[in-house]
Structures are given as structure tokens and as C-alpha cells.
Amino acid sequence: MSVKSRQVLAVLTACALVVAVMAAAGITVWRDLAPEERDIIEPILNPRLGLLLMISLVGAGAAAVLMKSFAQANLLGPSLLADELGLIVGTDPSRRLKPSGSPELQRIAESVNALADQRRSLQEDVEVRIREARLSVEEERNRLAALMSELNQSVVVCNLDGRILLYNSRARLQFRALSDAPTAAGGGEIIGLGRSIYAVFERNLIVHALESIQERIRRQSSQPVANFVTTTRAGQLLRVQMAPVLSAVEGEAENAVSGFVLMLDNITRNFEAETRRDQMLHSLTEGSRSSLANLRAAAEMLEYPDLDPELKERFLSVVRDEVQGMSARLDETANAFADSLKTRWPLDEMLGADLVAAAQRRIEKKVSLPTKIEDVDPGVWVKVDSFSLLQAISYLVSRLSDEFEVREVRLRLTAAGRLVHLDIIWSGQAMSTETVMAWELEPMTFAGESSPLTVRDVIERHDGEIWLQREKTQHRAFFRLLLPSAAPQEQVEAGAFLKGESRPEYYDFDLFKQTEASHALDDRLLSELTFTVFDTETTGLNPSEGDEIIQIGATRIVNGKLLKSESFDQLVDPLRELPEASTKIHGITPEMLVGQPPMVKVLPAFHAFSEDTVLVAHNAAFDMRFLQLKEESTGIRFSQPVLDTLLLSAVIHPAQESHRLEAICERMGVNIMGRHTAMGDAIVTGEVFLRMIPLLAEMGIRTLGEARQASEKTYYARVKY
């Protein structure tokens, strides 16, 4: 029974008790009177029965007021105090009680604060000891993370269930490129912590590779690895090397496989290039076969001494035509594969600004010459062998310093279509073209470094050019290096902003409808599940009357951690007018929605992002109603279980009057940095949900099924959805 119900029951009981006592006293006195006394008193009391009844009611009212005051002090006060205690224990150890209520409750609050201070002191001491004990482990982990992030190869680590435990940024970029989700739908990755690798690879393929590795381990092979080539669902060709992660847990079998590491290379382009080369060679050989046969026949006929001049000229014409045809085919083949022959030298893609910064550091260190950056296009990417190119740049600057006494150089990098201009600029004595050519053709030797390569070798390996150019107006000269450009690579997404809520609390959606998919996870602990916390912004508050979603924001919770880097944040074209009133709430303008994908393209990407997870939202029925209405037009159905932080708050703190997101954040010490962006609300809801999990555990609610059952019993759940 709730605290308010017990209050009402106590007040009614007090009133009934007062009335009953007064009635019992009157009846007892009346029965004790003699008949003569009753005859005397009865005429006196009869006219005054109303007054007696009024006195009884006043007495009952006074008792009710006193009992209400007593109940508030002894029922509501302890209940609120218990809620505050739960927050201190479960979410915010720094929180302290404000002494209020009766003197006894105030003394209890003061004692609790003293105990909380002592507990906090002990916790800090334990945390210091834990930090000291984990320093070496953290250092090793950071080294591993740094190594993984800098690897040029895509690396993914999975457990035996195929769940991703670790991956590097290269893998994320590669898998995003492999995704068949619309590129406009932000966050449509097919990789993420806790997600299944089987979204990319066929399960049987991984199982077969694991069986091969385990067989090699049983044979004590020196290299228990498996290699295979496969195609992704997006049609890309991948070369994969799988290595086992052997168990180091005490009590488990020696050399037991506890997971696997996948090292991935996208060989689609190489395979296509080799296929084109094979086709060209086949065409060359088959085409030349007939030409050679014609040439042989013509040559044999020309050997006849009495050949008619007209026939002789005809055969000579055949020879000329076939030779020209073979020459044209050879030229076509050579030109078609010139680029592929040049790209066999390994070149890496890097940001042009990084190349210039590296050149600046190397010149100042090796040549001891001051440098300045004159102009660098921040969006330019280059494809270079950075080591040999930096050697060539440093060598040229060294020769300028030694032979022409140049005291400063400037570096400039600009885009020029498919090429990039890298300029080494200086002021000083003019230089002849012969000197430049001599520098280009001499082996590079400077500052204690020696290389058999020449500047010309380095430039040719980049399929580039180098020349000397003068700026007469500024009395300067510069070497211009033409380098190949590369396609810009995807950068790390900017951080999200935070927000709150402004919507009705109930809507026509059954949050507790059981499906086979949702029921399968009921026995799993909340602390073990993977969650997708999401929120939407809409054109209005009435989905059944035509309002549409204009933004979806979501993030993931894996192993009790909120992964803000794994997010889904996408604006949506509602294909209808955006009311000005809604813009004032969320700040999204009609101009921001121009060119954005419609819901039929965004929803499949969001469904892929949230697949195999439990959905979490604040006032989830509102958001789920919008998704439900799109099932018929998109064919996308969200059948996974859903948890609502509004209902869970009512479970944890039933005595609190407000369960709005702002009020919950204030109670649980969650900072709200901003309002009304879908991504922001998702992050705030995720932080609130993480703080709710230990509070639910203290109440005996540990599994997903228990959380859903408790939510269904709250007052808010009984309102028609």
C-alpha cells in the first residue's frame, strides 16, 4: 500500500474511532440511568441532539487534523527520508539529508549524514588503493588502445558468441564503408561494442574457421590461424585472418579458445584491377592470335617470286593493317595498366596538414633552419610514402641552406584537382635550371643521412613532378612538388548536446505487449544486457493526427557503460510543414531539414543500429507510437523489449510527485547541459537509467522481466496507453 493510501486510512480510522468512543460513552451513560432520571433528562436532550451531533463531528474533525499531522510526520516523513537514503546509497554518495520533521527524524537525519561522511571517507580510501593497484593494468591497456588505434589494418576482437569486444578506428571506418545502409542516415554502422559480427559475416564461415583453428591447436601447430576470403552483404570482397584468443582463466582447460581476433583487408579494388588486367591480357592474346595468323599467311605469299604486283600490294596492306592493330592493342593495354603498375609501391593516405607539420619538424631538427607555414588547405588529403618524401624535402632544404645560404623556408599546400601542390618557398639568390637538375639526380646525402634514392626517384614513385618557379614580384622562388591526392577520410563525430522533454506522458501504445523476441531476454540480468537509449523530436505531439519524427538520436549502453562514441544522430525530412511552435521547442528549422532523408530511409538504419538490444527511453510510449505507425510503410517492426525511465522512477520513488526527466535528474544528481535535441535527451536518459539499475537491485528487481513487471504495476502504467 502506498504512503498516501496509508495516510488516508489513518485519518479515516481516527475519525471513526472518535465517533465510536463518543457514541459508546453516551450509550453507556444512558443505560446506567434510572427510569426516573431518563424521564427527566430525555426532554432536555431531545432538542439538543443536533448540537451533540455537531460536537461529535467537531471532535472527529479535530481528531482527523491531529491524525493527518501525525501521519505526515510519522508516515510521509520516513518515506521521503527512505527515498533520500536510497539515493545516497545507490547513486550519489555526496548527497546529504536536510534535517526536517519531528525532532526524532531530525536526529536520525543528522546521524545518517555522519554515517554517510564516514562511509564516503572509507570509500575514498578504498578508491585510492584500487587506483594504485590498477596503475600498471591501465598503462598496459592504454598501450594496447594506442597500438590498436594506430594500426593501418582493421582489427576486431570477438568472444565465442560473436559479440564484438574491441575494435579500432580503422575497422569502424571500413565497416561503415561496407554498410549497405543509406549514407545519409547518420550512425548506420554495422559494428559496435556488444554487437554481433554475424551482421557482417555468415555464422557458418566463422564456425568453420574456429573449428580449423581448434584442430591446429590440438595438433600443436606453431601457427593456429585461419585465413579466408568472403563477400559482405554489401558486395565487398574481404580477406580475413583469424587468430584465437586463448583462455588464461584459472580452472579452464589449457589452450581453450575464449574468443578470436579478425584482421581484415578489403581487396575489392585489387581483385577488380586483377580481373581487368586478366581480361585485357586475354583480349590482347586472342586479338593478336588472329593478327599473327594473317601476318604469317601474308608473309608466306610474299615469298613467291612471280607474285602479281597487285596481289603483292594487297598482302603488304594486310601486313600494315595487322601491325597497326597489334600496336594499338599493345598501347591500349600499356595505358590501361600504367596506374596499377605504379600503385604497387606502397603509398599511405594522410592529411596534408599532417604531412606539412611533419616536414616542418624534420627540417628544424635535421637542417636547423627556421620554417613557417604560409598556406595549408585543411581539407586536402595526399597519398604518399611519407618517409622518402620527407627525406627528399629535407635534402632540398639542406642544399638551399648550404649552397645559397637560405635562412628561412616556408611551406605551402594547395589542392589542384586530382593533384596537390606542395611548395618549398625561399627568398634569396637566383638558381639555374641546371643546378636543380643536378640536385634531382644525385643520391640524397645530408645531416648524417644517406640514401641511394634521388629526388627524381622519389617523385617518380609518387607519379608526380617537380620544378623550380619564381615569384618576381615578391623576389622569391619555390620548388613545386606535384603529389597525388586522396579522398578525404571520415573524421570523428562531434560530441552531442543534452536536452530534456516536452510531451504528453501517455499515448496509445501498449508498452508491455509480449512478443517472442521480448520474452526471450526476461531472465537476463539488467547489468548484463545491451541497451539502445533513444529519443525523438517531432513536428508535434499527435502522431495519429499526422505529426512526424524530424530527428532520432540514440546511444548504446554496453557492460554498464554509456558509449557516447557509438551513436545514431539523424535529422529526418517529415515530408510536411514544420510548425513554428515546434521549432521554438527543439530549435530545428525547416532549412535544416532540406535535403535530409525521409523516414523510409532512416528507419532501416536505426533498426540496424538498435538490433539485438533492449530499447530504453523516457516516456517511451510516445516515441514507440511514432515508430509503430511506420510499420506498414517501411516494413520495419521493433519487436525487442522496451524499458521506460518514467515508469522505473515511479517504481523506485513512489512517494515523489514528479517523474519528469528534469525532476529525476535533480534527484539523482545528473547534470543537464542543454535541452531539446534528440541526441542530448538520449544521453541524459542513459545516465539516469544507469543510476537506476543499482536502486532497482536493492529492491530485488534485477532481471529485465522483473523490471517490466514492476513497471506494469505502477499508477502510470495503469493509465490507458
Q: What is the pLDDT of residues 99-146, one digit of tens each?
A: 776 777 778 878 888 888 888 888 888 888 887 877 777 777 777 767
Give the Cα separation of 693 and 698 in Å (integer): 9
C-beta separation of 517 from 704 below 8 A? no
Please name every residue paired with 535 in a beta bridge, in sequence order, or none if there are none. 553
Is the pLDDT assigned to residue 493 strictly greater than 80?
Answer: no
Out of 60-64, 137-141, 260-264, 502-506, least confident range? 502-506
DSSP 20-85: HHHHHHHHHHHHHS-HHHHHHHHHHHGGGHHHHHHHHHHHHHHHHHHHHHHHIIIIIHHHHHHHHH
Please tell me the predicted confidence (pLDDT) of residue 12: 78
Is the pLDDT assigned to residue 284 strictly greater than 60?
Answer: yes
Q: Is 676 one of the annotated active-site residues of the chain?
A: yes
Give the Cα separation of 564 and 137 in Å (integer): 24
DSSP 441-463: HSEEEETTEEEEEEHHHHHHHTT
Residue 410's pLDDT band, with cuts at 50, 70 and 90, is very high
Mean pLDDT of 327-354: 67
Query: Which of 364, 354, 423, 367 lies closest to 395, judged by CA?
Result: 367
CA dihedral 536, 540, 546, 550 (to 10 degrees): -40
Give the Cα separation of 681 and 677 in Å (integer): 6
CA dihedral 179, 182, 184, 187 (to 10 degrees): -40
C-beta separation of 353 from 381 below 8 A? no
Length of the chain: 721
Please tell me the predicted confidence (pLDDT) of residue 492: 37
Residue of higher predicted confidence among 494 and 330 = 330
Q: Which residues contact 436 (CB under 8 A, 6 or more apart)?
A: 467, 468, 479
Residue of higher predicted confidence among 30 and 687 = 687
Please enumerate, as own/partner, the contacts of 340-344 that have beta carbons within 8 Å and a separation of 24 or more: 340/273, 340/277, 342/461, 342/463
Residue 572's pLDDT band, with cuts at 50, 70 and 90, is very high
Out of 194-198, 249-253, 547-551, least confident range? 249-253
Query: How many Å is the maximal CA-CA distance in the chain?
Result: 175
C-alpha of 367 from chain center: 44
Helix (H) or strand (E) holding 157: strand 154-159
Q: What is the pLDDT of residues 621-644, one digit of tens each?
A: 889 999 999 988 888 999 889 999
Q: 244: how many CB neighbours lie within 10 A of its CB?
A: 21
Residue 364 half-sphere exposure toward CB, CA atoms < 13 A:
12
C-beta separation of 462 from 349 below 8 A? no
Please tell me the predicted confidence (pLDDT) of residue 518: 62
Residue for grid cell 499526422: 546
Give the Cα separation of 383 and 346 in Å (integer): 9
Give the Cα separation of 511 and 710 in Å (integer): 13
The amino acid present at 352, given as its one-letter code, is G
The amino acid present at 49, given as its one-letter code, is L
Give the Cα separation of 663 and 657 in Å (integer): 9
Give the Cα separation of 349 and 362 in Å (integer): 19
pTM value is 0.53
Angle at CA of residue 154, ends 149 and 158, nearest 5°: 95
Q: 97: how many CB neighbours lie within 10 A of its CB?
A: 20
State the pairing for strand pair 237-246/348-351: unpaired
Please tell me the predicted confidence (pLDDT) of residue 687: 93
Helix (H) or strand (E) holding 376: strand 371-376
Please tell me the predicted confidence (pLDDT) of residue 317: 84
